[in-house]
């Protein structure tokens, strides 16, 4: 036990010991963690407390299993659905507000987000759907929150750089994997979610150090972008990384003899072919497709290609049926 803990710590510890219900215990432990000063001497204590918190959250989730399943769902819109995943106060709602037109509640008390709220995030000429969620580890919402995460296209893990970011990331990833949501490529099923880490609150003092720790531990596994929802630093980079990780190509169509429609690209998964594009345009197109002419990735402008030609980002395609 570190020697120099403030009196608030002992008061909070007493309240934690007296707490009885799982919800009370979790919130008392969160409050206790907040009283521990951050320095080398308390590293171990903070890590221990965070582990206990994660255990409590885990138990609370297990008790709720089989409970409410699909309390909320968010219909997908745009090029991909990206969900914001993180603990309370990491800045998920602030990021949603900075990146989209949505107006979420932002507060410095936990659990200010109680329902999923989404907004559209423009990136160049397409839009992604961002979904803000309540914090992970909240027993009354974890059931449906995990359901939404499971079906999202991309996970954006939001980490607060001012709060032991490496430990936070570890606990978050642990919780997701307990829900059988794999975020890195080493799972047995071979299916893992596309995942990006937003290391938020980069404007705060000590954030650089936190970012360094986070990178040392996770940069081989995830793309990590240091951002600030407040100063907006790093948000442009975050958007490009999300685009890159989402694995999307934009394809523009044109009718023979006309100019291409450059305003509204089709968005398709990387690896999609001319035939996939034809199917996305109209099911009859796929049936009747003879060949296509391509501008962009083609060897020469207007090159004639077959059905199984793999499209690249920003290709312009003229379908011949
Ligand atoms: N300094 C700083 N504060 C932030 C940043 N992002 C969020 N906050 C603050 O952190 C608190 C929690 O933010 P919120 O977006 O509600 O977090 P959520 O619980 O993850 O949705 C609020 O007081 C925000 O103003 C940031 O980039 N820098
Ligand atoms: Mg929130």
Same domain for 268 and 203? no
**What total of structural domains would you count in the chain?**
3
Global confidence as pTM:
0.77
- State how beta strands 194-200 and 223-226 pair: parallel
Residue-wise over 69-104: b if at least 16 C-beta within 10 A, else e? eeeeebeeebbbbbbbbbbbbbbbbbbbbbbbebeb
Distance CA 311, CA 294 (A): 9
Same domain for 185 and 126? yes
Retrieve residue 219's tokens: 């940069």
pLDDT digits (tens, 9 = 90+) for 232-286: 999 999 999 999 999 999 999 999 989 998 888 999 999 999 999 999 999 888 9
The 3-state DSSP class for residue 24 equals helix
200 CA closest ligand 1 atom index = 27
Average pLDDT of the residues in 33-43: 87
Retrieve residue 265's tokens: 């690209």
Same domain for 126 and 40? no
The 3-state DSSP class for residue 244 equals helix
- List beta partners, residue 85: 157
pLDDT digits (tens, 9 = 90+) for 87-126: 999 999 999 999 998 887 776 665 556 678 889 999 999 9
Between the CA of 125 and the centroid of ligand 1 the distance, in Å, is 28
- Helix%, strand%, coil% for the chain, nearest 5: 40, 20, 40
Pocket of ligand 1 (CB under 6 A): 86, 88-94, 106-108, 112-113, 135, 200-201, 203-204, 228-230
Same domain for 162 and 47? no
Q: Give the CATH number of the domain where residue 164 resides.
A: 3.40.50.300
Between the CA of 10 and the centroid of ligand 2 the distance, in Å, is 29
Between the CA of 76 and the centroid of ligand 2 the distance, in Å, is 20
Same domain for 240 and 106? yes
**What is the pLDDT confidence band of residue 190, given thresholds at 50, 70 and 90?**
low
Distance CA 304, CA 102 (A): 44
Q: 310 lies in which domain range?
A: 248-320
Retrieve residue 126's tokens: 């397409």
What is the pLDDT at residue 68? 45
**Among 2-6, 35-39, 55-59, 288-292, which is the least confidently predicted range?**
55-59
In a domain, 224, yes or no: yes
Same domain for 242 and 131? yes
Distance CA 196, CA 219 (A): 11
pLDDT digits (tens, 9 = 90+) for 116-174: 888 999 999 999 999 999 899 888 888 889 989 988 999 999 999 999 999 999 999 99
Q: Give the CATH number of the domain where residue 278 resides.
A: 3.10.20.30
């Amino acid at each position: 036990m570190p020697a120099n803990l403030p009196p608030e710590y002992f008061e909070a510890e007493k309240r934690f010991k007296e707490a009885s219900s799982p919800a009370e215990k979790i919130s008392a432990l969160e409050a206790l963690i907040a009283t521990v000063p951050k320095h080398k001497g308390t590293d171990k204590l903070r890590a221990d407390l965070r582990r206990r918190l994660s255990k409590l959250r885990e138990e609370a989730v297990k008790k709720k299993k089989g409970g409410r399943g699909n309390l909320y769902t968010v219909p997908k819109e745009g090029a991909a659905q990206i969900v914001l995943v993180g603990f309370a106060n990491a800045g998920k709602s602030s990021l949603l507000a900075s990146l989209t037109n949505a107006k979420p509640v932002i507060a410095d008390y936990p659990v200010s987000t109680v329902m999923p709220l989404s907004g559209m995030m423009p990136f160049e000429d397409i839009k992604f759907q961002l979904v803000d969620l309540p914090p992970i580890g909240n027993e009354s919402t974890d059931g449906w929150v995990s359901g939404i995460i499971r079906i999202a296209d991309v996970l954006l893990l939001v980490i607060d750089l001012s709060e032991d970011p490496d430990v936070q990331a570890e606990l978050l990833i642990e919780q997701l994997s307990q829900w059988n949501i794999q975020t890195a490529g080493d799972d047995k099923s071979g299916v893992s979610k596309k995942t990006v880490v937003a290391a938020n609150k980069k404007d705060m003092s000590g954030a650089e150090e936190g970012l360094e720790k986070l990178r040392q531990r996770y940069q081989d596994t995830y793309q990590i972008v240091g951002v600030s929802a407040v100063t907006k630093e790093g948000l442009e980079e975050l958007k490009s990384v999300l685009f890159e990780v989402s694995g999307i190509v934009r394809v523009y169509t044109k009718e023979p003899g006309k100019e291409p429609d450059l305003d509204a690209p089709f968005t398709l998964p990387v690896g999609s072919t001319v035939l996939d594009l034809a199917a996305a345009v109209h099911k009859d197109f796929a049936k009747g497709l003879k060949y296509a002419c391509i501008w962009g990735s083609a060897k020469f402008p207007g090159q004639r290609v077959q059905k199984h030609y793999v499209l690249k980002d920003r290709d312009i395609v003229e379908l011949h049926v």
